[in-house]
Chain A
Amino acid sequence: MTSQGVDEVRAGLSAYLTRLWRYGLVLSGARDVADDLVQATCVRAIERAEQFQAGTKLDRWLFAILRSIWLNELRSRRVREGGGLVDASEALVVDGAREMETNIVAGQVLKAVGRLPESQREAVLLVYGEGRSYNEAAEIMGVPIGTIMSRLAAARLTLGKMK
């Protein structure tokens, strides 16, 4: 007999794939790494599905898994390949499916965000991009709430100077 948690994970993964991909892209700055991160997260989530408590926040659980895989497994390789700090500004682009003007603005914003240090662009995605609360972002990033706020402030200061 399957548990409710297992069912919820298997059925719910589908809904979060693109969000997970976006998260992976912001973290890694590379589309192929984002693909790998999503797939690895799905594998891990399915393997650990019995640990998931049905009715709790699935997206937070999945985001935490992806983050852990990035930090513990893929990040060091990516940083080595990138020759040091990861500049995500080239990978954070959008395709031409929208009106040109919307794309241009979105592209500029994403390029600027891509130049931020990893922890700041992650905070910007979680809070400003996804609309999560400081508390949620702090939980996902595993830091105190004050740290989230400092990172957002630092991001704002940098982005303000870029204009």
Chain B
Amino acid sequence: MNELNDIALGDDALLVALVDGALGAKASEALRARLLADPALQARLDALRAGEQPFGPAFQALLDSAPAARLQAGLDTLLAARPAPLQRPASPWRRLALLAAALALLLGGVEIGRLLPGSASTPELAARPPTPQKDDWRNAVAEYAALYTADTFADSTPTSAADLARIGAKLDLTLTPERLMLADLRLRSAQILAYDDAPLAEIAYVDASGAPYLFCVFARAERELDLRGEKRGGFASASWAHGGRAYMVIGAGRPEQVAAMADTLKLRF
């Protein structure tokens, strides 16, 4: 608290500052000297002290009685009705055919860096290590995302909380079903991949029509980046970076859905 030494104050103000411990050392000393010599002033001090109450606990109790859930619901409605300004590129939605080879790669957890445009079996590509440019991992995810269809998850069992925890631990991140829960989307799978020797978590959701959405977390430190919308590989996507990790959302649905997903997740990560 600022020490009050030089402000010209009335006696009540000085006394209350003394009681509240807000009076500077010099002024306190002077005031105490006056109190010793002035019984009326001392009586005033006593009267002020008499007004002391357990304010802290009382106001805490009042805080605890607030209708927290109702207030939060009101805020959620407002936030949903007023999406954060986000660049929304027009992006044509397109369905892609499932590639059997790509499924095998998916199950094998192969380094994404090898999934470059063209054939993954091209010898030159296999030999060349991925060049670590800042944007490369997002392009790689977009390429990978293009391989997903509604069929990708049709028969699989949804991922468990234990799987999420295990995957999160690889990125030093707490991943729980609650933290990843999204309205209108079902969490389907989570897996750990790698890009350029850094772990990359990919969490997949599907919407009511079965269209896939991916939420990726990359453990490669980047400087803080504000949320920005992008078009990648024909999909709507959004990305940001915070706290030493980079995040990306990409999906087969409408740009607004991808943006809403990113908005919600960014609040939690």
Contacts and interface: CB of A to CB of B under 8 A. Distances in A.
Interface in B1-52: 1-2, 4, 7, 9-10, 12-13, 15-17, 19-20, 22, 47-52
Contacts of A3: 226
B22 to A, nearest CB: 6
A145 B61 contact: no
Interface in A88-113: 92-95, 97-98, 102-103, 105-106, 109-110, 112-113
B48 A157 contact: yes
Nearest to A97: B64
Contacts of B4: 134, 145
A56 interface: no
Nearest to A155: B51
B61 A103 contact: yes
Name the prevailing secondary structure of the A interface residues.
Answer: helix
Contacts of B132: none
B16 A17 contact: no
Contacts of A110: 58-59, 61-62
B79 A1 contact: no
A130 B63 CA distance: 10
Given A21-B66, A127-B20, A135-B2, 13 more contacts: A10-B84, A18-B63, A18-B66, A22-B59, A35-B71, A42-B78, A98-B64, A110-B58, A129-B55, A145-B4, A154-B12, A156-B48, A160-B51
Interface of A: 1-4, 6-7, 10-11, 13-14, 17-19, 21-22, 25, 35, 38-39, 42-43, 46, 92-95, 97-98, 102-103, 105-106, 109-110, 112-113, 124-125, 127-131, 133-135, 145-146, 149-150, 152-161, 163
